[in-house]
Amino acid sequence: MQLKNMGLLYRPRRLRNSELLRSLVRETIITKDDFIYPLFVAAGKGIEKEISSMPGIFQRSIDRLGPEIDELLKIGVPRVILFGIPEQKDEIGSDSFSDEGIIQQATRYLKSQYPELMVITDVCMCEYTDHGHCGIIHEGDVHNDTTLHYLQKQVVSHARAGVDMVAPSGMMDGMVSAIREALDEEGFEQIPIMSYSVKYASAFYGPFRDAAESAPRFGDRKRYQMDSANMLEGLREVELDIDEGADIVMVKPALSYLDVIAQVRAVTNLPVACYNVSGEYSMVKAAAEKGWIDGEKVMMEMLLSMKRAGADIIITYFAKEAAGLL
């Protein structure tokens, strides 16, 4: 049969005939070095509590972190981001900037016992305030500039504890500039900032609020986190953070915002991170448990989409599982 006049002189399928061919021409590749693994560190001792809405993810006290870190290092994931669950919360989140706070203690422990581990700390107030909001409340709302002062105190305490990088997540205007100034003034100019530059007020955060015990006690976070409908606003946020000294910019969540990741990638040469958030993780786990999907394949396809969209770094609860398949 003559096919030359049917547009079939070039057959894309030729390069799909075997895995050796497919891997040879593969455009996007995920590696273990793309991943950061979140850890939830709880005050106290002997704590190893699985989060009901996030199967396989635990709150752990410092004395129970060792086996988890050993496993991460063994499978080749030497980067973690810490979230704290303090023993007590108050209106100004005192534990967040105390040198004896849960994150500060955990950082000192990890850096002393595992010097090869990269420790990143989430910088926010929501996990430490009794009202669950990301800053200091004044007249029923988070007061932006007062909050900046407390974020400065927080990052300096993290730096003294030995952190490798800080990651401000509260979406306060000017937070990167304030944090850079505080770190530099205290002699920590070498510590980079990975800013949650584009963080949406998303319904995908639900399970995280169980994990970090950080649900707001009143209202919501729409007055400081971004409207899900907006992209251009996110690009302005990225531009501001870059001007203020961010070393890495982030989009959160990831899966429903792949278009935003791609646009951020197009406007900056800085490394771009994304956060594969708790709701994205839990949906896959729940559907896989029901037998509706192949959880491993969906996980890898999801992570691949984030990398393909332009993310250099993926914060993900799947890091251990995915690394085991790479």
- Please answer whether residues 90 and 97 qualify as being in contact, where contact means their C-beta atoms are separated by less than 8 angstroms: no
What tokens were used for 102? 């849960």
DSSP character at residue 4: G
Residues marked active site are found at 199, 252
C-alpha distances in Å from residue 59, one per residue of 44, 83, 143, 210: 11, 10, 30, 10
Residues 6+ apart with CB under 8 A from 67: none
Name the β-bridge partners of 314.
35, 274
- Please answer whether residues 255 and 305 qualify as being in contact, where contact means their C-beta atoms are separated by less than 8 angstroms: yes
| Three-class DSSP category at 316 | strand
Helical segments of 2-55, H only: 19-24
Does residue 64 come out as left (phi exceeding 0), alpha (psi in the -120 to 50 range) or beta? alpha
Positive or negative, the Cα torsion across 25, 26, 32, 35? positive
CA distance 322 to 24: 21
Residue 89: how many other CB atoms lie within 10 Å: 21
CA distance 56 to 90: 30
CA distance 309 to 56: 27
CA 85 to chain centre: 17
Residues 6+ apart with CB under 8 A from 102: 41, 42, 43, 62, 84, 85, 86, 87, 95
